[in-house]
Structures are given as C-alpha cells and as structure tokens.
C-alpha cells in the first residue's frame, strides 16, 4: 500500500464513494484512495420502510467491494487522527498516509450514552430504532397490542431529520389498519418548535397528524429513560410563556414535576439516538466548537486548511443531513479540488443548503420536502417535470419513487459518479 495520494478520502459512505467516482469521471488518471474499515455499504434511506415491514433489509446492503469505484485504492483501515500541517492522516494499522488534497466524508456516529438509560433500553429490546436495527422496529410494531406508542428524537443534529416522524406515521397507519387505533395513543415528541421548518410541508404534516390523531408534543427534549418503569423523562424547552401545564389523570399518563420535568410512560418506544461526529474528528483541530467539521457553508472547503474539504453528515452545514444534500454537495467539492489542482482558486461557492426529506406519511403516501438554508421550499426542476404535481402534498407516486426509484438511482447512478 502506498503512503501518499493526490486525493485521500476518509469514508466509504455515500459522500466518499460519490466524490471519488465523480473525480475519476473528470480525470481517470487521478491517484485516489479511500480509507474505510467496513465490509458493507448500506442504503440507509430504505430503513424507514424496513421498519414498517415493506422493504427487505438485505436489499439495503452491498459489499464495499461492489461499490468501490474502479481505479481507487481501498485502504481497509480506520482513520484515527489528522496531521494537517504535514498533509497526513493517521490510521490504526497503516501508519500515516499523506495527501495533496483531503476529503473528509466520515459520516456521523450514534451516541446513545448521551441519554441516560438508552443503551440499556436498546440492550433489553425495550426501545427500538430504525437508525440501529430497523428489523427490530418492525417486530416491535407487529407485536404491539395497544397503549402509549412513543416516538421521539434527541437535541443533537441527526441524519435524515424527518426519519423519527416518518416511522410514527407508518406505525399509526399500521395500527389503524389492524384495529388498534382506539386502543393506542401515538405520541410524537420533539425538542423542536414545529413539526417541520418548511411552511408548505408543515401544513401538510399537521393534517397528517390530525388524521391519525397523533399527540404532537413540541419542546420535549428526552434526557433519561427509566427502563424498569418504562418512562421517558423529558425537559420542557419552551420559553416560560409557551410552557404547557400537564394535568393529572390525562389520557397519556403524563406527569409534570416542577416547571420543566415531564415523565411520559410508554408501551412502545422508538427513538433516534443522539448523534455526533466521530470522536477523532471532535478531538481534532479540524472541528468547530460543536465538534463538527469546520467547513465553508457554500464551498465545503475547510475554513483553516485550504486543501481539505468536508461534506455529508460530518460537515458543520446548517441544513438537513441527507443523501440528497450530498448529491448537490459532491459536484461542488469535485469542481473546487480540480480547480486547486490547476492552481486556480476554489471559487465554486454555489451550494445553497439544498436538502431533501422524503416524508412517508403512511403506506402508499408521501410528501417530498426540498429546501435550502433559509427553509424555502425549492422543488428540484427535474423532479417537478417528472412528477407533474405539487410535491408538498401527499401522493402515492412519491411513495413509489421513494420505494423503487430512489434506490435504483442510488446504486446505478449516484454511486457510479453519474449526474442525477
């Protein structure tokens, strides 16, 4: 294995594979390596459907060998640190690997320990999560007999910010179809202030919540799980004038202690674990104060080291962490690296924060949220032409696009470096 490359990429996920593939499409002679320890590459957007029993988990996985672009050196190892002044990355088993240009595309990691009791809840099967084991989520939904079905998410940034509510809608639809609606309280609790930041999508989702009779709880930040008594402890994060008062003997069995401590009992619990950048990124000079990779919001170039770029879930970009965002970020990073190779400035600052969240709202129903840094609703013109209707509304054609169209595009176009 060589110890120096023109372009070194950390991460064999969506962002890393796409960047390498697009670079090689532009110049097949480039000397590129990807550092990635895993044997398997997953198409995680389908895990929502796996958790609802409508997609085969095995179809979300391919071997890393199969997706690694031809012409790339695969360094099957873990990156452990950076030596940016020497243009090098430290690895667990291969020593330091140096580079002319570095692309950091590590993704993020699950940190369940940031909520007290959550690791034990997962270990004992009391909590389920599409982020960790979607097949267990499906078993949990199938075996549910009634009571409080509680869905929640953490205060940290998470990948695919809509995923915790998608499974709540699918579960509510499943319970309705199986005669459990009147025996069940579906609760969606979020630290956020609204169900979704984009006005057009928010209006649609509030109708969905109303249709299923979901108990929507904004300003609920989960902080601990009492595994033995099956209770989630929340902090109420609303300003005092907006704070709700929990009355005794309410339908959900909620109890309030003091001004901000709320206890919600559950019979089923699904949650997104807290998430963070990998520890070696958080502890490095490349991270910002919040522990995410410190990059320019429009060029993805690192703010301190000009020959380093970061994109995807690890990047400190104030937009949703999705594959759709990566699809728009990669061509800009590729363009900027190629310009630097020719001693030109990395002047492509065209990323506007585009991200997209396919919000499945039931079996056969979906709305597609596409938005920018300012939460403007910005449907992709190509999709708009193809779908020929308002994608802010629920539609079965969007659901079919999510289930069949997007996986096809992912495996056959995006990962192969083709423009989508």
Task: Give the pLDDT confidence of 160-182 residue by residue, as tens digits.
Answer: 999 999 999 999 999 999 999 99
Residues with a known catalytic role:
160, 357
Question: Which helix or strand (DSSP H or E) is residue 215 part of?
Answer: strand 215-217
Domains delineated in the chain = 4-108+277-349 (3.50.50.60), 112-274 (3.50.50.60)
User: pLDDT value at position 338?
Assistant: 98
Report yes or no: 328 and 136 within 8 Å, Cβ to Cβ: no
- Percentages of the chain per state (helix, strand, coil), in multiples of 5: 35, 25, 40
Calculated CA dihedral for residues 25, 332, 279, 95, nearest 10 degrees: 40
Residue recorded with tokens 């904004």: 218
User: pLDDT value at position 157?
Assistant: 96
Q: What is the pTM of this model?
A: 0.95
Find the radius of gyration of the CA atoms of the chain: 22
Closest CA to 182 of 145, 224, 136: 145
User: pLDDT value at position 256?
Assistant: 86
pLDDT 10s digits, 291-300: 999 999 999 9
User: pLDDT value at position 259?
Assistant: 73
User: pLDDT value at position 238?
Assistant: 83
- CA 73-75-78 angle, to 5 degrees, is 155
Low-confidence ranges of the chain (pLDDT < 70): 241-243, 245-249, 384, 386-388
User: pLDDT value at position 178?
Assistant: 97
Helix axes 323-341, 14-26, angle to 10 degrees: 40
Q: Residue 372: which residues within 8 A CB-CB, separation 6 or more?
A: 319, 352, 353, 354, 355, 378
Closest CA to 125 of 10, 205, 230: 230
Q: Residue 300: which residues within 8 A CB-CB, separation 6 or more?
A: 309, 310, 311, 315, 317, 329, 332, 333, 336, 351
CA distance linking residue 20 with residue 5, whole number of Å = 13
User: pLDDT value at position 85?
Assistant: 96
């Amino acid at each position: 294995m060589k110890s120096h490359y023109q372009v070194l990429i950390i991460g064999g996920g969506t962002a890393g594979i796409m960047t390498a593939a697009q670079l090689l499409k532009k110049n097949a002679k480039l000397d590129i390596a990807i550092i990635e320890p895993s044997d398997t590459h997953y198409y995680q957007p389908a895990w929502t459907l796996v958790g609802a029993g409508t997609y085969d988990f095995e179809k979300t996985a391919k071997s890393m060998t199969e997706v690694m672009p031809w012409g790339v050196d695969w360094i099957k190892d873990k990156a452990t640190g950076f030596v940016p002044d020497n243009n090098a990355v430290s690895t667990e088993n291969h020593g330091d690997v140096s580079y002319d240009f570095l692309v950091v595309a590590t993704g993020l990691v699950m940190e369940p320990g940031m909520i007290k009791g959550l690791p034990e809840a997962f270990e004992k099967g009391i909590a389920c999560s599409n982020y960790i084991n979607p097949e267990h989520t499906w078993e949990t939904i199938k075996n549910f007999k009634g009571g409080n079905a509680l869905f929640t998410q953490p205060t940290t940034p998470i990948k695919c910010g809509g995923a915790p509510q998608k499974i709540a809608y699918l579960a509510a639809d499943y319970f309705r179809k199986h005669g459990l609606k009147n025996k069940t309280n579906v609760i969606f609790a979020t630290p956020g202030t609204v169900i979704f930041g984009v006005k057009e999508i928010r209006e649609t989702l509030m109708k969905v919540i109303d249709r299923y009779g979901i108990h929507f709880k904004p300003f609920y930040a989960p902080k601990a799980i009492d595994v033995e008594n099956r209770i989630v402890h929340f902090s109420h994060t609303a300003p005092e004038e907006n704070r709700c008062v929990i009355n005794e003997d309410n339908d959900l069995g909620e109890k309030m202690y003091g001004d901000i401590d709320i206890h919600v009992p559950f019979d089923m619990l699904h949650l997104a674990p807290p998430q963070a950048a990998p520890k070696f990124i958080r502890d490095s000079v490349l991270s910002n104060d919040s522990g995410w990779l410190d990059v320019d919001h429009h060029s993805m170039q690192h703010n301190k080291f000009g020959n380093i770029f970061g994109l995807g879930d690890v990047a400190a970009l104030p937009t949703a962490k999705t594959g759709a965002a990566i699809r728009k970020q990669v061509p800009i990073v590729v363009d900027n690296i190629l310009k630097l190779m020719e001693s030109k400035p990395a002047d492509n600052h065209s990323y506007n924060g585009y991200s997209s969240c396919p919000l499945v709202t039931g079996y056969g129903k979906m709305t597609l949220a596409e938005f920018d840094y300012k939460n403007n609703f910005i449907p992709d013109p190509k999709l708009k032409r193809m779908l020929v209707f308002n994608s802010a509304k629920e539609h079965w054609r969007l659901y079919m696009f999510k289930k069949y169209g997007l996986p096809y595009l992912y495996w056959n176009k995006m990962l192969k470096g083709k423009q989508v």
